[in-house]
């Protein structure tokens, strides 16, 4: 088995990582602009190079063209992008060994299937191995969404996860008590990963994965959209229509400098809370307006 390796040399390293995760990279490595490997001394710490090489490793047969197009759109003209083919190595297992359990809020954990979790008896544990698709809890945009979910009362709620990636948010919502979750994504690989992960977390009976243009049963109690700023802006009316009056819409995957543009796209339909920030990433939570009641004479 061979591997597809794509290397992006850029100062927008987190955007490059987000693209690689989105397309299901089995491993992601960040190096400086020379040849020295950047070693993370603490779990989930981010290297701080002005310009770095971000390397994504993909299983044999993964089409390179969509990934290259997404990198070009996200990183701009100043990025240098290269592709290579590597012989088989157990990259995914090595990456898994460096992927510790993560905790969000008081009781939500995300951990690989093989990891021991030292958690309280009432803890909610989502088991997810890295490499299936975007979203294992390590990226700031994903952790911001998991932090928000961990603080909500989801019992009996109906949730839509728009751009589900690995299914981590949909699965977390179901494990936290949501009665029904609709998870959709433009990437077929992400939808397959969501289904597989839902089965492995014993919540497949509460997670539906219809085509993106065939979402039924709305409006929903919660709308989650952990994607990038440009699609968040373009989907403003679609996402707003999915939410019930007063329901929260959680928007993530945007950088702090993009907050104003994203909020402007929703200003006619949502009232926003204060943004939550992690590194250079932001999470926005907006609420659909509640229609005023009419007094009958």
By the 8 A CB rule, do 60 and 4 touch? yes
Domain extent listing, the chain: 2-96, 134-288
Please state the rounded mean pLDDT for residues 200-211.
96
Pick the CATH number of 2-96 from 1.10.10.10, 3.30.70.120, 1.10.565.10, 3.40.605.10: 3.30.70.120
pTM of the model: 0.69
Please state the rounded mean pLDDT for residues 39-44.
32
The secondary structure of 78-100 as a DSSP string is T-EEEEEEEE---HHHHHHHT--
User: Parallel, antiparallel, or unpaired for β 102-104 and 108-111?
Assistant: antiparallel
Asked if residue 43 has pLDDT above 50, the reply is no
Distance of CA 277 to the CA centre of its chain: 15
* pLDDT at residue number 60: 83
Compute CA distances 200 → 126, 141, 261, whole Å: 9, 24, 38
pLDDT bucket at 66, cuts 50 / 70 / 90: very high
In angstroms, the CA 174 to CA 178 distance is: 5
At 187, give phi and psi (nearest 5°): -95, 120
Return left, alpha or beta for 65; rule: phi > 0 is left, psi -120 to 50 is alpha, else beta. alpha
| 134-288 matches 2-96 in CATH topology | no
* pLDDT at residue number 280: 85
Architecture of domain 134-288: 3-Layer(aba) Sandwich (3.40)
Please state the rounded mean pLDDT for residues 238-247.
95
In angstroms, the CA 164 to CA 23 distance is: 12
Mean pLDDT of the chain: 83
């Amino acid at each position: 088995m061979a591997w597809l390796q794509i290397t992006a040399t850029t100062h927008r390293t987190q955007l490059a990582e987000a693209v690689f995760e989105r397309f299901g990279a089995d491993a992601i490595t960040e190096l400086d602009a020379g040849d020295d490997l950047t070693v993370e001394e603490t779990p989930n710490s981010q290297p701080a190079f002005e310009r770095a090489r971000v390397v994504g490793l993909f299983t044999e047969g993964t089409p390179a063209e969509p990934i290259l197009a997404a990198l070009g759109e996200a990183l701009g003209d100043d990025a240098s992008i290269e592709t290579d083919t590597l012989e088989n190595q157990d990259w995914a297992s090595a990456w898994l060994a460096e992927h510790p359990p993560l905790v969000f809020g008081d009781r939500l954990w995300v951990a690989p299937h093989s990891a021991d979790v030292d958690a309280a008896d009432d803890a909610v544990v989502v088991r997810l191995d890295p490499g299936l698709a975007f979203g294992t809890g390590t990226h700031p945009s994903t952790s911001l969404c998991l932090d928000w979910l961990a603080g909500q009362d989801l019992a009996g709620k109906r949730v839509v996860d728009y751009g589900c990636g690995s299914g981590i948010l949909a699965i977390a919502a179901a494990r936290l008590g949501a009665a029904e979750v609709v998870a959709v994504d433009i990437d077929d690989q992400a939808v397959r990963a969501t289904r597989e992960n839902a089965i492995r977390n014993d919540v497949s009976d509460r997670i539906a994965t219809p085509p993106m243009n065939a979402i039924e049963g709305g409006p929903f109690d919660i709308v989650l959209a952990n994607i990038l700023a440009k699609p968040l802006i373009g989907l403003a009316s679609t996402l707003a229509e999915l939410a019930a009056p007063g329901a929260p819409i959680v928007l993530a995957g945007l950088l702090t400098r993009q907050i104003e543009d994203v909020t402007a796209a929703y200003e006619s339909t949502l009232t926003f809370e204060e943004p939550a920030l992690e590194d250079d990433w932001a999470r926005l939570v907006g609420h659909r307006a509640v229609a005023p009641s009419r007094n009958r004479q």
